[in-house]
């Protein structure tokens, strides 16, 4: 999730803050209904700000298809977040080169076409999608909000600005606090772990998740760190951690499925394999090489 996306929440948050509890100690976590309300308002702002692709677009269709599979995975054990997940999810693709995806509270999830166009397999898309679903399901925004409010309360008490039972309603995050409000490293790990579980549960190849992180790492190497990465710290530890977890299943995974449409990444790969002289550009250029050779689906190689 980008900080830019959080900026969108500001008007809605002002409303929410007034509704913050005025007594009792420090339970600021917005309710499910409040999360949905905030998310709806944020999603409306996103739709106003960006061009959202129509549902006839193959990327939107696939995203929604995959989301159904992931959300249909039965809850594991006594996990209360999973069992009580009744968020009204919505999945959309924003027409933009930005390499990013984000979840707003309460259900709406957005992918930028720039991210999907760098993918090669359905399993990669499912991996990122599962990660984002878990930001919503596990109420990460609401928990981050709660933590921040508690911190503010602690500070106010420390400074003698308020006594515990009064004036809590006047306690408010400043705009600059909200800009800084983002998912913690712990939330990211949690989304990776639970994302992995539902990816496996839905029958995808979980190595797709790793492929995406590797792709981000290469992009970073090329000097253009994507937004998703800047808020989703992609380090070798994270990749290693996922790989270890995947290995622990001791399973043979189904073959990764190529995306059922041509993306820039596929076009670049097809062009590179036809014309090795261009030297394996990894799709970072958007595949507009001058060779003009159209990529036929048959030229797609098995992936890794
Ligand atoms: Zn994340």
Domain boundaries, the chain: 3-141+180-248
Ion ligand 1: residues, CB within 5 A, are 188, 191, 232
Q: Report percent pLDDT > 90 for the chain.
A: 45
Distance CA 262, CA 281 (A): 16
76: left (phi over 0), alpha (psi -120 to 50) or beta: beta
Q: Is residue 284 pLDDT above 90, yes or no?
A: no
Confidence band (pLDDT; 50, 70, 90) for 194?
Answer: very high
Most confident of 4-8, 49-53, 299-303: 49-53
pLDDT tens digit string along 43-90? Answer: 998 999 999 999 999 999 999 999 999 999 999 988 999 999 999 999
Cα(101) to ligand 1 centroid in Å equals: 9
Torsion of CA 125, 126, 131, 137, to 10 degrees: 130
Q: What are phi and psi of 303, to 5 degrees?
A: -90, 120
Q: Name the token pair of 165.
A: 């039972």
Q: Is residue 304 pLDDT above 90, yes or no?
A: no
- Mean pLDDT value across residues 228-246: 78
Distances (CA, A) of 9 to 87, 94, 135, 243: 18, 18, 16, 35
Confidence band (pLDDT; 50, 70, 90) for 27?
Answer: confident
pLDDT of residue 72: 97
**Residue 252: helix, strand or coil by DSSP?**
coil
pLDDT tens digit string along 89-120? Answer: 999 999 999 988 999 889 999 999 999 999 99
Mean pLDDT, the chain, as a whole number?
Answer: 78
pLDDT tens digit string along 135-164? Answer: 999 999 888 888 888 877 777 677 766 555
Query: In this predicted model, which residue has the larger pLDDT, 166 or 111?
Result: 111
- Of 21, 29, 285, 62, nearest to 166 (Cα)? 21
pLDDT of residue 10: 41
Cα(132) to ligand 1 centroid in Å equals: 6
pTM exceeds 0.85: no
Cα(137) to ligand 1 centroid in Å equals: 12
Cα(185) to ligand 1 centroid in Å equals: 9
pLDDT of residue 218: 83
Distance CA 67, CA 63 (A): 6
- Mean pLDDT value across residues 28-51: 89
- Of 193, 188, 239, nearest to 217 (Cα)? 239
Confidence band (pLDDT; 50, 70, 90) for 172?
Answer: low
Contact 303, 257 (CB under 8 A): no
Cα(129) to ligand 1 centroid in Å equals: 10
Cα(172) to ligand 1 centroid in Å equals: 26
Residue 106: which residues within 8 A CB-CB, separation 6 or more? 32, 35, 36, 37, 38, 39, 40, 87, 88, 136
Query: In this predicted model, which residue has the larger pLDDT, 278 or 240?
Result: 240
Cα(1) to ligand 1 centroid in Å equals: 6
Cα(103) to ligand 1 centroid in Å equals: 8
Query: In this predicted model, which residue has the larger pLDDT, 51 or 301?
Result: 51
pLDDT of residue 41: 87
Lowest mean pLDDT among 157-161, 169-173, 223-227, 285-289: 285-289
């Amino acid at each position: 999730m980008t900080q830019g996306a959080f900026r969108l929440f500001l008007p809605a948050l002002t409303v929410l803050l007034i509704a913050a509890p005025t007594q009792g100690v420090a339970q600021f976590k917005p309710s499910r209904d409040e999360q949905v309300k905030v998310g709806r308002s944020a999603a409306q702002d996103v739709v106003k700000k960006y061009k959202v692709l129509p549902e006839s677009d193959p990327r939107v269709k696939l995203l929604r298809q995959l989301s159904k599979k992931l959300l249909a995975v039965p809850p594991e054990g006594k996990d209360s977040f999973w069992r009580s997940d009744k968020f009204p999810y919505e999945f959309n693709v924003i027409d933009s080169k930005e390499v990013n995806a984000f979840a707003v509270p309460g259900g709406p999830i957005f992918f930028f076409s720039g991210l999907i166009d760098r993918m090669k397999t359905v399993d990669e898309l499912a991996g990122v999608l599962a990660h984002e679903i878990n930001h919503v399901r596990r109420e990460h925004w609401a928990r981050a909000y709660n933590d921040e409010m508690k911190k503010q309360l602690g500070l106010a008490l420390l400074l003698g600005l308020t006594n515990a039972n009064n004036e809590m309603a006047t306690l408010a995050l400043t705009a600059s606090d909200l800009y800084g409000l983002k998912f913690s490293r712990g939330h990211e790990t949690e989304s990776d772990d639970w994302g992995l579980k539902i990816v496996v549960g839905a029958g995808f190849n979980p190595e797709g998740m790793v492929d995406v992180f590797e792709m981000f790492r290469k992009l970073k190497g090329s000097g253009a760190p994507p937004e998703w990465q800047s808020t989703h710290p992609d380090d070798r530890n994270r990749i290693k951690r996922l790989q270890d977890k995947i290995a622990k299943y001791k399973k043979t995974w189904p073959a990764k499925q190529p995306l059922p449409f041509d993306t820039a990444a596929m076009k670049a790969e097809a062009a590179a394999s036809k014309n090795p002289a261009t030297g394996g550009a990894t799709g970072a250029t958007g595949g507009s090489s001058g060779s003009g050779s159209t990529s036929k689906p048959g030229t797609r190689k098995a992936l890794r």
